Structure 1
Amino acid sequence: MIDAQLKKDLIAYSKTIGIDKIGFAAADPFVTLKDRLIKQQELGYQSGFEEPDIEKRTNPPLLLPEAKSIVSIALAYPSKLKNAPKSKRGDRRGIFCRASWGEDYHHILRRKLHLLEEFIKGKVPDARCASMVDTGELSDRAVAERAGIGWSGKNCAVITPEWGSYVYLGEMITTIPLEADQPLEDQCGTCNKCVDACPTGALVQGGQLDSSKCIAYLTQTKGFLPDRYRDKIGNRLYGCDTCQTVCPENKGINADHHPEMEPDPEVVKPKLEPLLTISNKQFKAKFGSIAGSWRGKKPIQRNAIIALAHFRETEALPTLYQLLEQDPRPVIRGTAAWAIGKIGTDDAAEKLKEAQITEEDADVLNEMEKGLMFLENQST
């Protein structure tokens, strides 16, 4: 029997704990999503960060026996950086995407979901619940779409009428039957701005993403970045916002009513060169509280090196030479070699050739050759 009063109470309570939008969906299997995920897998479009078991991703009762409903929540996050420091020669800066501003959203949403669970159990003591955010088995986007939070945009984000796509999503499966909300109609229409603007062509078509090409994914990988994407990264240290910033539904929207989500400009738009020599302890102290730190400092440092090459930052060459000669990590040494060649000065070739003599890693030697080739091309 559907508990209409509990749904009303949950909606009212959600507002008191800072949830911007709440929706309700049946815990039926996600049949259409399953077909789409199988196709994505066949095409090799998955990132590898997802739950590999498609059955778990699409069948809520496998995660919570006797599941009847799913509660979907959305929290709006800021899109504008106040007092943003300037990036200038000799003092270049990188940028973290908006979803990594402020406190790690996983923690924020889990706290909200925990409060909802406690509220439900206070009303229905024998109720069972299972909550998840982003890294859980279910697709946050598919749940939110079914629960009427927003529609699934061509940029592969849920777009809400109130907050655009600048929302964090989480969900809770429960054994309580709650009346489902109506999904919203797709309102993207003929607009194709996000697909056209994607720097790497990762948006194959509206609503279909090849994750292996997506800058948001690429910035989180730990190995050498494929050559064809290095110039596309620009000064991005973590994530990419292009498909959101060009979306007309996001125009003029800036949710700044959650203090814990407010970004520290020096954290989310940090100086690049100091990142190259930052210790693990220093990295954790400065960046540990944001979502973009989850893969550790190496991907961020690699991306910072690429950003310095993007800016042709000659002032950073002494530090890049230091990495080339002393850093124990092949990815950092090799990327530094590539960047040195891209930046290119009179002594760059000599430094690369000196380092070649003692270098034993094949991948690093390959990057050194690329760097030398850049320099040779510049001189001809």
Structure 2
Amino acid sequence: MDIQKLKEEIIAYSKTIGIDKIGFTTAEPFTELKNRLIRQQELGYQSGFEEPDIEKRTNPALLLKEPQSIISIALAYPAKMKIRVESKKGERRGIFSRASWGLDYHRIIKDRLQKLEEYILTKVPDAHLKSMVDTGELSDRAVAVRAGIGWSGKNCSVITPEFGSYVYIGEMITSLPFEPDNSVEDQCGSCTKCLDACPTGALVQGGQINAQRCISFLTQTKGLIPNEFRDKIGNRVYGCDSCQTACPYNKGKDFHFHGEMEPDPEVAKPLLKPLLSLSNREFKVKFGHVSGAWRGKKPIQRNAMIALAHFKDKTAVPDLIGVLEKDASSVAKGTAAWALGKIGGDQALEALKRAKQSESDSEVLQEIEKGLLLISIERADI
């Protein structure tokens, strides 16, 4: 078998199935990454969504018998909507981050990797292959960097020379001894724009993130958002792009290569008030195909209430009162109480007073008190 010829054939084939960039690296353990992950764990900076076994995250030999190489792929995604919808008074909108525009990227990347696997097996039927994206054991970013897809930016994203950091990535461990590609030189230099742009200071330093402070992570949690982060979330209902939009290497980058990635503006930038009353079925029909739906409707609804508070949307007060009085979730009721306090007004005040008399959940009662305090502070300032 001519392994170099096979590599060239794979590269050529990848272009025909919608892979925008492909790179090859060894299947050696990721020793430096392992040390960083141990340190992140010690500092409590992990999100909890990662594969918990650091050995599996850094040693391909634990995932495939006698691995020889890893193939990394990247697909560029859009940075701008072709059709825009505007947020206006009485019809305020939230925003999903770009990585949740269009069809769930896990499905897109898995489709490309599956096609690549099938092609390789037509050439080498006895090859051993294992593909993964995001939810797999390996660190997609570490693989992509070592395979020459791009460099690891200070914002902890893989930055490609061609597409900036607006890329989805995935990888395939193989039993084939492909020649590794050269890595890409780090081009961040002394730039700190991403660190400066992070709303919560989650980027501790270049290349190190405290996931517990990251808005993207916070919007995916299921509990009450800690007080210090609520005003920072703005109108984000899922994810955060601040460190990407601030990056000079993303300036002017906007690629529309893949039809399934094109966002429906009513999904990517949804009206906020209707989100509060969606049933599980309605949520699944409208949002089930996007990656931002993976945690279900409750986190999205909680974030929508925070966004309505951000806009101080008085037209949302009846909707928020409905959540406070009728929802079974303490997180939803508590967030609604806080949002009512942020928005203020007589109707919100009366609703909070009623709820204080009837509510028995201590967590919700704390949020009701916060709401009442916010209104009293606002009235004292008038």
What's the TM-score bracket when you normalise by the shorter of the two chains?
Answer: over 0.9
CA distance in 1, matches of 2:265, 2:148: 34
* Shift, 1:360, TM fit: 1.1
1:165-203: per-residue Cα shift (whole Å, max 9, x none)?
000000000001101000011000111100111000000
CA distance in 1, matches of 2:341, 2:16: 56
Q: Matches of residues 1-380 of structure 1 in structure 2 within 5 Å?
A: 3-380=3-380
CA distance in 1, matches of 2:38, 2:2: 33
Structure 2-normalised TM-score? Answer: 0.99
Identify the range of structure 1 (106-115 vs 345-354) with the bigger mean alpha-carbon deviation: 345-354
- Native 8 Å contact 1:2 1:178 kept in 2: no
SS in 2 for 1:200: coil
Amino acid at match of 1:364: V
CA distance in 1, matches of 2:107, 2:373: 46
* Shift, 1:2, TM fit: 7.3
Q: Which runs of 5+ in 1 are unaligned?
A: none
SS in 2 for 1:149: coil
SS in 2 for 1:170: strand
Q: Aligned residues: percent identity?
A: 66
Structure 1-normalised TM-score? Answer: 0.99
1:190-220: per-residue Cα shift (whole Å, max 9, x none)?
1110011100000000100000000000000
RMSD of equivalent CA atoms: 0.8
- Could you list the structure 1 runs, at least 4 aligned residues long, displaced by more than 4 angstroms after superposition: none
Amino acid at match of 1:149: I
- Native 8 Å contact 1:2 1:179 kept in 2: no
Amino acid at match of 1:68: Q
1:132-151: per-residue Cα shift (whole Å, max 9, x none)?
00010000000000000000
CA distance in 2, matches of 1:323, 1:57: 41
CA distance in 1, matches of 2:235, 2:212: 19
| Structure 1 residues 376 and 70: CA distance shift in structure 2, 3 A | same
SS in 2 for 1:289: coil
CA distance in 1, matches of 2:247, 2:377: 39
CA distance in 2, matches of 1:82, 1:122: 39
CA distance in 2, matches of 1:89, 1:128: 57
Amino acid at match of 1:61: A
SS in 1 for 2:75: strand
Q: Which runs of 5+ in 2 are unaligned?
A: none
1:267-291: per-residue Cα shift (whole Å, max 9, x none)?
0000000000011111000000000
CA distance in 1, matches of 2:312, 2:2: 63
CA distance in 1, matches of 2:16, 2:379: 65
CA distance in 2, matches of 1:333, 1:12: 55
Identify the range of structure 1 (77-86 vs 132-141) with the bigger mean alpha-carbon deviation: 77-86
CA distance in 1, matches of 2:2, 2:38: 33
CA distance in 1, matches of 2:73, 2:2: 20
